[in-house]
Chain A
Amino acid sequence: MKKKYIIGIDVGGTNTDAVMIDSQKNIIATSKVSTSHDGISGIINALSLLKNNSNCEIEKICIGTTLGLNAILQGSDECARVGLLRIAGHNPDSIEPCITWQDHNKKNIVGYYTISGGYECDGRELSNLHEHEIREAAKKLIDKGAERIVINSVFGCMYRDHEQKVSDIIKQNFNTIEIDCASDFFHIGYVERENTALINSMLKKNFSQKLQTIKNELQKIVTSLFIVDNNGLLITIEEAIKYPIKTIVSGPINSCVGGMLLSKKSNNVIVIDIGGTSTDIGLVENETIRKSLHGVSVGGINLAIQAPDIITCGLGGGSIITKNNNNYEIGPKSVGNTLFENAYGAGGLIPTLSDVAYTLTIFNNEKFKKNYFTKEDGEIIMNKVIDTIEMYIEKITLKIRLFDIVIVGGGALLLPEEKIKQKKWIIPDNCGSANAYGAACAKRGIIYQKIITSLSEEDTRNKYNDIYDIVKKKLNNEGFFLIKTDIISQIEFPYSSDGKRFVEIKGIAL
């Protein structure tokens, strides 16, 4: 019988990394190629490099990607043009849509209208829906060039009927337009829910198409194809295509969980991911990355997504070293991915952290040929780097002694081995592939969100049990039998007479 393997792929803005692991999570092969514009040929390249080494059967492929995030940050031209309908009979004029957005994202929003309807917190209608008003507003948005329409109702997170009706009316009258309901994102907070639905709608053009291409191509190789979501769980590629926004913060989660697993130490680690420009520091407790207090804010846009608690600092392999009154400063500016052209050692003009590591003979590369620093200065700077990292570790927790400290990312190899050993920090083998490894090791999970009403404790218990059953059945159908269920959150709605509450339940296949 052929051995079965899992492949993890990290599609970043610059590089695509892949790892192949066996069922014991041992790394069999790794590869690194440039990310391709079409999203798929880079992946195919990375895969063919991996599979050169072995004749094997692939059980599943897990992909983590920051392409969705990058599309928002860079204001990609390839986003869908979106119109917005606010179902808000009380005419909220105090905050207009997209108020904190930057122009490069705002340009994708063709316009908005406020129409009658929506709810009070206790479920009374703010006002009735008017069909002609809905038709008119939708027509105006389509005339302005909208390819999709987002509808957002006041208290839509609790009462979904108006959004459903408006969606139906628009679909009956205009058969080419695509509709996205903000109530698909359970979240109390009109502005964040609206932002989330709008960004999701924007991403459903180009980014979702890329995912679709990936799906079409890779399903020729493998039947199980997953994407890592914002909780670090594997979701089906179909779900990612429908809700691309569910993937945008998976990057740091993958590298933190990957770092933890690579270190083979404990379930409680602080992971320091040193890249070319910046360093991300995150904390993993019981295999789960710590979430931040605040929601995700991308390019000034607050979203209804919980963010991992990551500290980012401007320290990386390409960090520029400057001298100020006999003091060396490291970063935050970086030569980025032009290291091999601009770094002093590689024939450029700029002294970087990689030059320091070259001087101290930690880092060796054929393109590096000359020293900028003296050994003494090199050591002074390297000590400062270590101090900086320590300072950030202290920032992320007071209880440092409960955690192992793991360093991953390409920049990890620039640090002096002896010092790292003294500090009992760990740089695992394959530290450059932590992200892809994290994706490969991610578990299939389902997050089930529902609003339930219940008037007694027993009723509540029964309704929770129903949800557990649904989650288990869904995973059973995919062939998983060992399943752990957990309540992620439960929010009781104030002012509801029928004990309405929002519950979020996670099922993970072990």
Chain B
Amino acid sequence: MNKNSEVNSIIQSIIIGANFLGSGGGGSAQEIALMITSLLKKYQFPKIVNPYDIDDKALILPIAFMGSPFVMREKLPSLQGSNVIIDCIRKKYNNNSLYTMAAEIGGGNAFTPLLYAMINGINCIDGDLLGRAFPEISMITTNLYSSLDIKKTAFISNDKGEFYEINNYKSFEELEEKARDIAIQSGSSACIVPHVLMGKQMKEIAIKKTYSLAYDIGNEIKKSTTIDVLIKNSSYNYVISGYVSDIKQQIIGGFSIGEIEVQTLKGVYTIILKNEYLALIHNNTVVSLCPDIISLLDYDSLYAINSELLRLGGRVHIVTMKADNVWYSDQGKTITQKSIRLILENKGIEV
């Protein structure tokens, strides 16, 4: 295999795996992967490095695109413009030992740190701050480590090469509000670093080896000819197969909220959606609940299907998987289950 086709095969596996970890959300990875293919003509694919090998004093940039997927499809990012974020942070901290890292491994943003690593000739950490995709910016591991002295300064840049700092935000809700204003001003597409991390902090709070995980999942899905082959691996929990019999979906307050019904031989399974698939219900009882990753796989290709691509009659397998352990602590559950518990309570379903 020549080098480029090897890289393409790795990218393909990460796309499939990142979409799986997206738990129905996170935006499709296909578009950003196209950017990588385009950049490969000029730049080297970055190394994805083991987080434990990183110097404690290195500077880590968890990075993501924010804005509407709709805008990104139309206004293709200008990397030379938004790359000002890397230069300015490098200068501000006067640190040349620089790495990018994913803020969110689930979905399209798995590729954002790879893009910036490529054009800057630096490397990317094998890890992220979610281990999947979540609907709200507060659902980030940083929120679990309030005792650590992580400086709450966020950085944002846009295609025009403009650069913003949001200093000393008190909560992630406050950050979300301020960042959204800037993003809208920038044409609803911007690049964000919610905070930087020192190597030492990263080793504590990052969910490690999530690129490797995405790659492995993608590889297995590619190799598996049927669902039976795939679920022999014990990390997946196969629930049932069926076809999509109803989709209710609405945009409320910037979130895609709704329910998906899957008709199976054992009756209807309902999936509750808030950007991501957050709960799986059968006979009014909870089968699986976030932080579990809930994925709907295409019946034949076994590729995970994003919620916006579902259609009536489509045949799917329902598969769940445990997320990273850190989310199963009491505090982890409080943070990640806040909104889903509210939705379930309103339906009279006991958790």
Interface-lining segment among B10-18, B35-43, B203-211, B225-233: B35-43
Contact B187 A93 (CB under 8 A): no
Contact A188 B73 (CB under 8 A): yes
User: Chain A contacts of B74 at CB under 8 A?
Assistant: 121, 154-155, 157, 188-190
The reply to whether the CB of B68 lies closer than 8 angstroms to some CB of chain A is yes
Contact A94 B187 (CB under 8 A): no
User: Chain B contacts of A395 at CB under 8 A?
Assistant: 300
User: Chain A contacts of B81 at CB under 8 A?
Assistant: 90-91
Contact B70 A191 (CB under 8 A): no
Complex partner residue of B75 from A90, A100, A293, A399, CB under 8 angstroms: A90
Bitwise, B27-49 to A at CB < 8 A (1) or not (0) is: 00000001101110100000000
Of B38, B76, B78, B309, most A-chain CB atoms within 10 Å: B76
With A90-B160, A293-B311 already in contact, the answer to whether A95 and B76 are too (CB < 8 A) is yes
Contact B80 A91 (CB under 8 A): yes
Bitwise, A133-175 to B at CB < 8 A (1) or not (0) is: 0000000000000000000001101000000000000000000
When chains A and B are docked, how far (Å) is the Cα of A306 from the Cα of B313? 18
When chains A and B are docked, how far (Å) is the Cα of A397 from the Cα of B38? 37
User: Chain B contacts of A155 at CB under 8 A?
Assistant: 74-75
Q: How far is the CB of A365 from chain B (nearest CB, A)?
A: 36
Q: How far is the CB of A95 from chain B (nearest CB, A)?
A: 5
Contact A91 B34 (CB under 8 A): no
The reply to whether the CB of B243 lies closer than 8 angstroms to some CB of chain A is yes
Contact A91 B78 (CB under 8 A): yes
Bitwise, B246-278 to A at CB < 8 A (1) or not (0) is: 000001000000000000000000000000000
Of A94, A121, A122, A124, most B-chain CB atoms within 10 Å: A94
Contact A95 B35 (CB under 8 A): yes
The reply to whether the CB of A96 lies closer than 8 angstroms to some CB of chain B is yes
When chains A and B are docked, how far (Å) is the Cα of A75 from the Cα of B79? 32
When chains A and B are docked, how far (Å) is the Cα of A287 from the Cα of B41? 47
With A91-B81, A92-B77, A100-B34 already in contact, the answer to whether A398 and B300 are too (CB < 8 A) is no
User: Chain B contacts of A479 at CB under 8 A?
Assistant: none
In this complex, the interface size class of chain B, counting residues with CB under 8 Å from chain A, is: 20 to 34
The reply to whether the CB of A379 lies closer than 8 angstroms to some CB of chain B is no
Q: How far is the CB of B42 from chain A (nearest CB, A)?
A: 9
Q: How far is the CB of A286 from chain B (nearest CB, A)?
A: 14
User: Chain A contacts of B337 at CB under 8 A?
Assistant: none
The reply to whether the CB of B240 lies closer than 8 angstroms to some CB of chain A is no
The reply to whether the CB of A504 lies closer than 8 angstroms to some CB of chain B is no
Tell me the chain A residues, 393-415 only, with Cβ under 8 Å from chain B. Answer: 395, 397-399
In this complex, the interface size class of chain A, counting residues with CB under 8 Å from chain B, is: 20 to 34
With A494-B68, A494-B70 already in contact, the answer to whether A191 and B76 are too (CB < 8 A) is yes
Tell me the chain B residues, 156-199 only, with Cβ under 8 Å from chain A. Answer: 159-160, 184, 187-188
User: Chain B contacts of A99 at CB under 8 A?
Assistant: 34, 37-38
When chains A and B are docked, how far (Å) is the Cα of A188 from the Cα of B71? 9
The reply to whether the CB of A22 lies closer than 8 angstroms to some CB of chain B is no
Bitwise, A108-138 to B at CB < 8 A (1) or not (0) is: 0000000000001110101000000000000
When chains A and B are docked, how far (Å) is the Cα of A122 from the Cα of B37? 30
The reply to whether the CB of A495 lies closer than 8 angstroms to some CB of chain B is yes
Contact B315 A93 (CB under 8 A): no
When chains A and B are docked, how far (Å) is the Cα of A399 from the Cα of B263? 12
Q: How far is the CB of B16 from chain A (nearest CB, A)?
A: 16
User: Chain A contacts of B85 at CB under 8 A?
Assistant: none
When chains A and B are docked, how far (Å) is the Cα of A398 from the Cα of B242? 9
The reply to whether the CB of B221 lies closer than 8 angstroms to some CB of chain A is no
Binding site for A on B (CB under 8 A): 34-35, 37-39, 41, 68, 70-71, 73-81, 115, 159-160, 184, 187-188, 243, 251, 300, 309, 311, 313-315
A91-B78, A293-B309 known; 6 other A-B pairs, CB under 8 Å?
A90-B159, A93-B78, A120-B188, A188-B74, A189-B73, A190-B74
- Return the 4 tightest CB-CB contacts between A and B, nearest first: A92-B76, A120-B187, A90-B159, A94-B35
Can you offer 11 A-B residue contacts whose CB atoms are under 8 A?
Answer: A93-B79, A93-B80, A94-B39, A95-B35, A96-B38, A99-B34, A99-B37, A120-B75, A120-B188, A121-B188, A395-B300
